[in-house]
Each structure stands twice: as structure tokens, then as C-alpha cells.
């Protein structure tokens, strides 16, 4: 479980296809001693399991494996050496819930429609996949590339979010441009509410 509050930027140090899996070596500013084999770390909002690790100066290198389903539903398959990724360690009991509850299960890819300066921040417009449009609502929550954000408006074209300067500075959202694909995870409460409504409508 995550909150959508990015704790660090990682860098892809190696990407290798093996037996249908994509093995990514990630360089991160985390202490290797604090990363357990089998630990879950969200990469641009996609929860992946650590299978290898090694300490290095200023942090650690660790390896995660991306399965075919995740390759089909996320941006992980497009990652290459040198690319930056938003990282978030999984929640521990007692951690502050600073964003919203995020599972690290990407619902699908959104397409960036526009990125524009808006006052001190930036306004991002995204076209979501049709499968999650019914889960979006103004003032609701959504995770974009693993970042917890508030939906400002929803219309027939897509939805918009406003990104504050701090978030712009410490995440990969500042690298986005029109046409880029981003991992989207709809709000968990919206998903369960929609499922409940669907179930009731069938009774």
C-alpha cells in the first residue's frame, strides 16, 4: 500500500529482457540495508518487487522484474537506461498518510493532452482510458505516474490537475509533454463505490 507521495527519484541503470520479463536495475538514494529482498516499491505508480540489491556510494542499486501484464498496462516497457522514475516505499504501520490510499496497481495509460503554466504552478490535462472515466470526479483523487493529485475538472475530453512547484521539482511530471503516456490509478474508494453501484443495479 502507498500514498502517492514520491520519496525519491530513481534512475534506470540497466534494462534487460529475459524469459518474457523485463529486468530493471534501479539506482536509488536508499540505504541498501533498508531494502529487503521481496520488498515492494512503486515505480511511476507501478508496484514492483525487489529481487536483487547491492550497496553503492550514496545509495543502492536494486533489481525488479516486470511481468507481461504490467508491461502491457504501464509505461515500464518504455523505460531505458538513464530514464528517471518516481519512487515510493510501501507504507509501514504508523506512517503519515500524506496523499491518498494507492495500491500500486495501474489501471491503464493516460495520454497527456497539454502542459501549461498556471500562475505559480502547472496545469496538466490528460485523456484517460475509457475504462476509468466513470471513476473520475472533480475534487477526487488520482495517481499520475505514482503521484497523488487532486482532479480539478472533468469533461468529455479528459481531466485536469494542477501541480504545485514542489511536486513539479521533485517528480518526473516536469518532464511530461503532449502525447506522452502516463500510468494512472483511479481512487480506491471510487473503484469500490462504482463496483457496489454496479452490483446493486444487477439485483
Catalytic residue annotation:
2, 40, 47, 49, 67, 105, 150
How far does Cα 64 stand from its chain's mean position?
15
Q: What is the DSSP letter of 98?
A: -
* Distance in angstroms (rounded) separating the CA atoms of residues 120 and 24: 35
Helix locations, the chain, DSSP H: 68-73, 165-170, 188-201
Nearest to 172 by CA among 39, 42, 1: 42
* Distance in angstroms (rounded) separating the CA atoms of residues 9 and 26: 10
* Distance in angstroms (rounded) separating the CA atoms of residues 36 and 21: 21
Residue 53 near residue 37 (C-beta atoms within 8 A)? yes
Residue 148 near residue 42 (C-beta atoms within 8 A)? no
Which cell goes with 128? 484517460
* Buried/exposed 46-58: b ≥16 CB within 10 Å, e otherwise: bbbebeebeeeee
Amino acid at each position: 500500500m502507498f500514498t502517492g507521495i514520491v520519496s525519491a527519484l530513481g534512475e534506470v541503470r540497466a534494462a534487460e529482457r529475459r524469459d518474457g520479463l523485463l529486468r530493471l536495475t534501479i539506482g536509488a538514494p536508499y540505504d541498501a540495508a533498508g531494502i529487503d529482498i521481496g520488498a515492494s516499491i512503486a515505480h511511476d505508480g507501478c508496484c514492483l518487487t525487489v529481487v536483487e540489491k547491492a550497496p553503492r556510494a550514496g545509495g543502492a542499486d536494486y533489481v525488479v522484474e516486470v511481468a507481461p501484464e504490467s508491461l502491457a498496462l504501464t509505461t515500464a516497457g518504455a523505460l531505458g537506461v538513464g530514464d528517471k522514475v518516481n519512487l515510493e516505499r510501501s507504507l509501514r504501520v504508523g506512517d503519515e498518510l500524506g496523499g491518498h490510499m494507492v495500491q500500486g496497481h495501474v489501471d491503464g495509460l493516460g495520454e497527456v493532452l497539454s502542459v501549461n503554466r498556471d500562475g505559480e504552478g502547472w496545469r496538466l490535462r490528460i485523456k484517460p482510458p475509457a475504462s476509468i472515466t466513470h471513476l473520475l470526479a472533480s475534487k477526487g483523487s488520482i495517481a499520475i505516474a505514482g503521484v497523488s493529485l487532486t482532479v480539478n475538472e472533468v469533461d468529455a475530453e479528459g481531466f485536469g490537475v494542477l501541480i504545485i512547484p514542489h511536486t513539479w521539482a521533485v517528480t518526473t511530471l516536469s518532464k511530461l509533454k503532449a502525447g506522452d503516456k502516463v500510468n494512472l490509478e483511479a481512487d480506491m474508494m471510487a473503484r469500490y463505490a462504482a463496483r457496489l453501484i454496479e452490483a446493486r443495479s444487477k439485483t
